[in-house]
Structure 1
Amino acid sequence: MRKKSIAALLYMVSLLPFWLLYRFSDGLYFLLFYVVGYRKKVVLENLKNAFPKKEESERLKIAKRFYRFLPDLLVEAVKMRTISKKQVMKRIELLNTEEVWQHFEKGKGVIGVTAHYGNWELGIHRLSLMTDFPRLVIYKPLNDPDFNEVYNALRCRFGATMVPMKQILRHIVRLKNQPHISMFVADQTPTYQDSDYFMQFLQQDTLVYTGTERIAKLTKNPIVYCHIGRKAKRGHYFCKFTTLVENPDDYAPHEITEIHNRFTEKMIQEDPGYWLWSHRRWKRKRRS
């Protein structure tokens, strides 16, 4: 019953036109930043640690840009329930698609890497419409099973397959020797059971996932980064593909993990307002 109520509410809200959803987003920005102060302490601390050389006023401007973008991200995610294929393709422009197709044409699978940057959720729909080859989206299940099921159904509207992290290997092995793309959101915070590898990321000692590298080494599939950035026009994005790794066997242990995290880091440093700064990314510390 609860699951049906959540699904019905998302559906009804998603029927609202974009212009009205953005009016709601404007109000939500004021509420989150000025009234509630949603995770403001976390955001400002993350920014201070990531950009210690920036003036406080400059970091505050970045924080405001993030809080201004966050409500747009939320309403656009809800809109995914009823958005048309035409609107999805209009709102996310694909750049350098040959970076993916060159591997498909060789009969290879592709390991896609992205981050909690720009509208990575709407990016699932755009990726789904890019090809008819299998599209796997690797995700970390939410704590709320009802919302998790409802939201995954929303993400799968155009053919993506949602795969929990712990089931990655089974799905990818099944697709061995056929073109497909497996998309990893690689900037999440792993548990100590999932990873023991720390690296410097945004000026901080950071525990990072090594699963992308492990899967690449196992399958020998190339790694292509999907940079989803925001355009000047509200609600419009680009997704630029860049091959980071052609042959995973050519790299030393952890080198691939360093490569795709450095790419994410550079992307954030160049335009920091669209990363998920409210995420408690640095809560894991090295064990003594």
Structure 2
Amino acid sequence: MLTYYLVLPFIYLISLLPFALFYGVCDFMFVLLYYVTGYRKKVVLQNLRNSFPEKSEKEIRAISRRFYRYFCDLLLETFKTLTISREAAIRRCKLQPEALALFNRYAAENRSIMIVMGHYGNWEWAGNTFSLQGRHHLYVVYHPLSNKYFNGLIYRMRTRFGTGLIAMKDTFRDMVAHKSELDATAFIADQTPAPNSAYWTTFLNQDTPVFQGTEKIARKMNYPVVYVCVQRVKRGYYEISARTLFEEPSKTADGEITAAHTKALEADICAQPEYWLWSHRRWKHKRPEPVAAKVSPALTVL
């Protein structure tokens, strides 16, 4: 509690800075994290080396450096959500006309949708823009923080423009409860699930577990699955693109939805790798060994 109240005034101070000064603070933070503390630098470099074995060490370190610049901007841009105006939020994170048309079509058809995306670009600002411009009521599936004070801060930031939050453990129950509404439920699907319950695939040249819950819920609710990418255009500016992966998820085969949204995210990362969250320990689990079939003792007697 004490840490929260000590840090909170600085968070609001940073949030209130005009953008020219704000990004000066981001530059200072980059120097601190990249050159002084080396925050998770080993994790970032190893993730990049494993993901891009064809790249030279010079290329890997260049991507790493660009990632840290983006990462520092991203962290402080999240705080900006506390005080940013509606006009600035929409100006700095725009829905592409094609994306807005897609969402408006589903709204006109009175169809709720499921949005799937990754930790790429600025997903926090994208939620604000969607809530301000979209006709669907946006709900974001999230992991509540264990610290109730910081969790409350995050909750205020994310719900300021009307976005609703759903705790991951309550996702299906809450979606059923909201079934009469025109909803868009957003899943950030590149988090790390328990290895034994995950869908395993090759992602960025590595064995990777992926949550199956997104697919299971999509097939039960039969909402169109829309993949969203938040592309950084230049410093402080983003564009949101969207495309439908599946109109009728109930007709898909097991693993089809999971494979499709994972492949879509991989393509975006490969195009501009510095804008993904490389500091995350995405590959901390190993693929479980297949369980050997048990042979009855009677069958072993010749």
TM-score bracket relative to the smaller structure: over 0.9
Tell me, in whole angstroms, the C-alpha distance in 2 between the residues paired with 1:115 and 1:144: 24
Tell me, in whole angstroms, the C-alpha distance in 2 between the residues paired with 1:93 and 1:133: 17
SS of aligned partner of 1:231: strand
Query: Which range moved further: 59-68 or 94-103?
Result: 94-103
Tell me by how many angstroms 1:59 deviates: 0.9
Tell me, in whole angstroms, the C-alpha distance in 1 between the residues paired with 2:188 and 2:84: 23
Tell me, in whole angstroms, the C-alpha distance in 2 between the residues paired with 1:57 and 1:82: 39
Who is 2:297 aligned against?
A: none
Whether contact under 8 Å (2:103, 2:134) holds in the other structure is no
* 1:189-208 matched pairs, under 5 angstroms: 189-192=192-195, 195-208=197-210
Tell me by how many angstroms 1:7 deviates: 4.4
Relative to the length of structure 2, the TM-score reads: 0.91
Who is 2:295 aligned against?
A: none
SS of aligned partner of 2:27: helix
Who is 1:160 aligned against?
A: 163
Whether contact under 8 Å (2:50, 2:205) holds in the other structure is yes
| Residue 51 (structure 2) pairs with residue 53 (structure 1) | no
Tell me, in whole angstroms, the C-alpha distance in 2 between the residues paired with 1:84 and 1:61: 34
Whether contact under 8 Å (1:124, 1:160) holds in the other structure is yes
Tell me, in whole angstroms, the C-alpha distance in 2 between the residues paired with 1:270 and 1:158: 31
Tell me by how many angstroms 1:205 deviates: 0.3
Who is 1:90 aligned against?
A: 91
Tell me by how many angstroms 1:162 deviates: 1.0
Whether contact under 8 Å (2:107, 2:182) holds in the other structure is yes
Tell me, in whole angstroms, the C-alpha distance in 2 between the residues paired with 1:6 and 1:159: 26
Who is 2:225 aligned against?
A: 223
Q: Which amino acid aligns with 1:231?
A: V
Unaligned ranges ≥5, structure 2 = 290-302
Tell me, in whole angstroms, the C-alpha distance in 2 between the residues paired with 1:245 and 1:199: 20
Q: Which amino acid aligns with 1:52?
A: P
Tell me by how many angstroms 1:120 deviates: 0.8
Tell me by how many angstroms 1:13 deviates: 2.5
Which of residues 113, 116, 119 is equivalent to 1:116? 119
Task: Give the root-mean-square deviation of aligned CA atoms.
Answer: 1.5
Tell me, in whole angstroms, the C-alpha distance in 2 between the residues paired with 1:143 and 1:281: 20
SS of aligned partner of 1:52: coil
Which of residues 98, 104, 107 is equivalent to 1:104? 107
Q: Which amino acid aligns with 1:75?
A: L
Whether contact under 8 Å (1:104, 1:110) holds in the other structure is no
Q: Which amino acid aligns with 2:23?
A: Y
Tell me, in whole angstroms, the C-alpha distance in 1 between the residues paired with 2:7 and 2:30: 23
SS of aligned partner of 2:94: strand
Tell me by how many angstroms 1:9 deviates: 3.9
| Residue 198 (structure 2) pairs with residue 179 (structure 1) | no
Who is 1:63 aligned against?
A: 64
Tell me by how many angstroms 1:267 deviates: 0.4
Q: Which amino acid aligns with 2:48?
A: L
Tell me by how many angstroms 1:189 deviates: 0.8
Tell me, in whole angstroms, the C-alpha distance in 2 between the residues paired with 1:163 and 1:14: 25
Tell me by how many angstroms 1:177 deviates: 4.6
When residues 90 and 188 of structure 1 are mapped into structure 2, their CA distance, relative to the original with a 3 A threshold, is same
| Residue 144 (structure 2) pairs with residue 146 (structure 1) | no
Query: Which range moved further: 18-27 or 259-268?
Result: 18-27
Who is 1:188 aligned against?
A: 191
When residues 87 and 63 of structure 1 are mapped into structure 2, their CA distance, relative to the original with a 3 A threshold, is same
SS of aligned partner of 2:288: coil
* 1:18-37 matched pairs, under 5 angstroms: 18-37=19-38
Tell me by how many angstroms 1:264 deviates: 0.2
Tell me by how many angstroms 1:192 deviates: 3.9
Aligned residues with identical type, % of pairs? 42
| Residue 128 (structure 2) pairs with residue 125 (structure 1) | yes
Tell me, in whole angstroms, the C-alpha distance in 2 between the residues paired with 1:140 and 1:106: 31
Who is 1:276 aligned against?
A: 277
Whether contact under 8 Å (1:29, 1:68) holds in the other structure is yes
Whether contact under 8 Å (1:109, 1:177) holds in the other structure is no
Tell me by how many angstroms 1:4 deviates: 5.3
Q: Which amino acid aligns with 2:208?
A: T
